[in-house]
Structure 1
């Protein structure tokens, strides 16, 4: 599992003073960066070989500006060319949001999904949680 601590920014709040619901998917993407680095160590866009096929977010409790959040990220499933990433947002000891993303290893030249290389699969499996 990967963890990331984020201090919410004032600009991420909504008119009610809570973290806007559009922010959580961006935090989740930031939490997926260690997974991205397995595939694209340089993190250069021209080397990119992943696409996102689906994201889901369930909001469980309100998030507040004044308190840090912890993003927890792990792999729930690894397929031939895809993987399911599960994530949670925790604030003050409470899980406030939960989500998942389907990522696909992708060849932009042929516009097709490609098998996850074995060396990357081994790295991913270390973060697999049932």
Structure 2
């Protein structure tokens, strides 16, 4: 069985929109926050001067409204592990209901050569533990 990362967030009042639910612009921010454990596998110190990832793509599908005042659980896993990139799959749940799904493609990147670099060895083995079946 694959491992997943989980993070519980409390929606802030400032994240709501005129319709009274959490704004659709909030989910990419929440998903980025919940990707921190993935970032730490690449850079345990989270040192931005030694950052080996670039974001290549971000998609979010909204399946239900999210409301202020009730916690949201973000589940994070990997739906694909390529030679030099990975796809992070995330779900946002509120009241045991799937409210949003997201996919983010990250590229393992060497800023000096300006090229993608392979994901190898122990890092690859660690990442492989988080591969999930994406819905």
**Which band: TM-score by shorter chain?**
over 0.9
Matched, 1:42 2:45: yes
Structure 1 residue 117: Cα displacement: 2.7
Moved over 6 A (4+): none
Q: Which residue of 2 aligns with 1:30?
A: 33
Q: Which structure 2 residue ranges, 5 or more long, are not aligned?
A: none
Separation (CA, whole Å) in 2 of partners of 1:118 and 1:23: 35
With structure 1 as the length reference, what TM-score do the two structures score?
Answer: 0.98
Q: Which runs of 5 or more structure 1 residues have no equivalent in the other structure?
A: none
Structure 1 partner of 2:124: 121
Number of aligned pairs?
Answer: 130
Q: Show the counterpart of 1:16.
A: 19
- Structure 1 distance, partners of 2:38, 2:103, is 14
Aligned partner of 1:51 in structure 2 is 54
Distance 1:17 1:127 in 2: 35
Deviation of 1:51 after TM superposition, in Å, equals 0.4
Name the counterpart of 2:76. Answer: 73
In structure 2, distance between residues paired with 1:62 and 1:129: 25
Matched, 1:112 2:108: no
SS at match of 2:125: helix
Q: How many angstroms apart in 1 are the aligned matches of 2:51 and 2:120?
A: 15
Match of 2:88 among 81, 85, 88: 85
1:63 corresponding residue in structure 2: 66
| TM-score of the superposed pair, with normalisation by structure 2 | 0.94
